[in-house]
């Protein structure tokens, strides 16, 4: 018998202790929420594209969170999720960050611009048809922009599952390129919307 997918999954890579993500766990845990907290063994050198690999901590939102749990619990839980996610910013960002994560990869598999996105944390969500979204955060993101990005991503997901995305976003999403079942997104604070990233390194043109 297969396990029912959780509404929310919090996965962290050892040796990071659970205490590091406990503020998020405490913030989001609520009656009726199917929450899974999952420690993972340390990863070794990788041979995949950096943007597609699991970050040290990732938070997975199931479609059931939005079209099931949230309808029952009400939008107040949104605020708890945002607060919990915000508690992780000092762990992975800023000059005094509590954890520093670096990549050890195979030559040619790390994008030249890949290092600008955090290896510490990402947010994933179901996208349907065997795909999922992955929100990447710039490594130099401020606490304010981090909070705006996470709130905007939750709003995007709510609209996506309700089938009520605006036309411009629908067009950009339709042109997005997926790899490994992943649609990569990052929030552009200057434009105020999400950009869909191409995960495959571009071959340099002759003379570049």
Q: Which segments of the chain are extended strands (E)?
A: 8-13, 35-40, 57-61, 121-128, 131-135, 182-188, 193-197
| Whether pLDDT at 106 is above 70 | no
Residue 206 falls within a domain, yes or no? Answer: no
Q: Kindly give, in sequence order, each residue whose CB lies less than 8 Å from that of residue 37, ignoring residues fewer than 6 positions away.
A: 9, 10, 11, 12, 18, 21, 25
Residue 203 falls within a domain, yes or no? Answer: no
pLDDT at 52: 83
Residue 81 falls within a domain, yes or no? Answer: yes
Q: Which residues pair with 105 in a beta bridge?
A: 46
Q: How many separate domains does the chain show?
A: 1
Residue 158 falls within a domain, yes or no? Answer: yes
Q: How far apart are CA 125 and CA 31, in angstroms?
A: 21
Residue span of the structural domain in which 157 resides: 8-197
179-200: pLDDT as tens digits: 889 999 999 888 888 889 987 6
Is the preceding omega at residue 15 within 30 degrees of 0, hence cis? yes
pLDDT at 88: 94
140-176: pLDDT as tens digits: 999 999 999 999 999 999 999 999 999 999 999 999 9
Q: How far apart are CA 86 and CA 24, in angstroms?
A: 8
Residue 160 falls within a domain, yes or no? Answer: yes
For residue 12, which of 80, 92, 103 has the smallest C-alpha distance? 92
- Tell me the pLDDT of the chain averaged across its residues: 85
Residue 186 falls within a domain, yes or no? Answer: yes
CB-based burial label for 172 (10 Å; 0-12, 13-18, 19+) = middle
For residue 185, which of 197, 177, 193 has the smallest C-alpha distance? 197
pLDDT at 19: 95
Residue 1 falls within a domain, yes or no? Answer: no
Q: How far apart are CA 91 and CA 99, in angstroms?
A: 6
The model's pTM is 0.86
């Amino acid at each position: 018998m297969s396990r029912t997918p959780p509404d929310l999954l919090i996965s962290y890579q050892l040796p990071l202790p659970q205490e590091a993500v406990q503020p998020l766990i405490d913030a989001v845990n609520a009656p009726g929420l199917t929450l899974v907290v999952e420690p993972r063994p340390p990863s070794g050198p990788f041979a995949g594209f950096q943007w597609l690999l699991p970050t040290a901590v990732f938070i997975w939102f199931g479609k059931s969170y939005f079209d099931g749990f949230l309808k029952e619990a009400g939008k107040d839980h949104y605020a708890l999720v945002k607060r919990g996610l915000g508690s992780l910013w000092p762990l992975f960002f800023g000059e005094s960050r509590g954890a520093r994560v670096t990549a050890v990869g195979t030559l040619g598999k790390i994008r030249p611009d890949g290092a600008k996105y955090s290896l510490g944390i990402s947010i994933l969500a179901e996208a349907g048809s065997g795909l999922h979204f992955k929100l990447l955060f710039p490594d130099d993101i401020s606490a304010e922009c981090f909070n705006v990005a996470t709130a905007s991503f939750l709003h995007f997901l709510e609209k996506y599952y309700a089938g009520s995305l605006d036309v411009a976003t629908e067009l950009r999403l339709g042109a997005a390129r997926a790899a490994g079942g992943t649609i990569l997104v990052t929030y552009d604070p200057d434009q105020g919307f999400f950009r869909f990233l191409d995960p495959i390194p571009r071959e340099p043109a002759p003379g570049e």
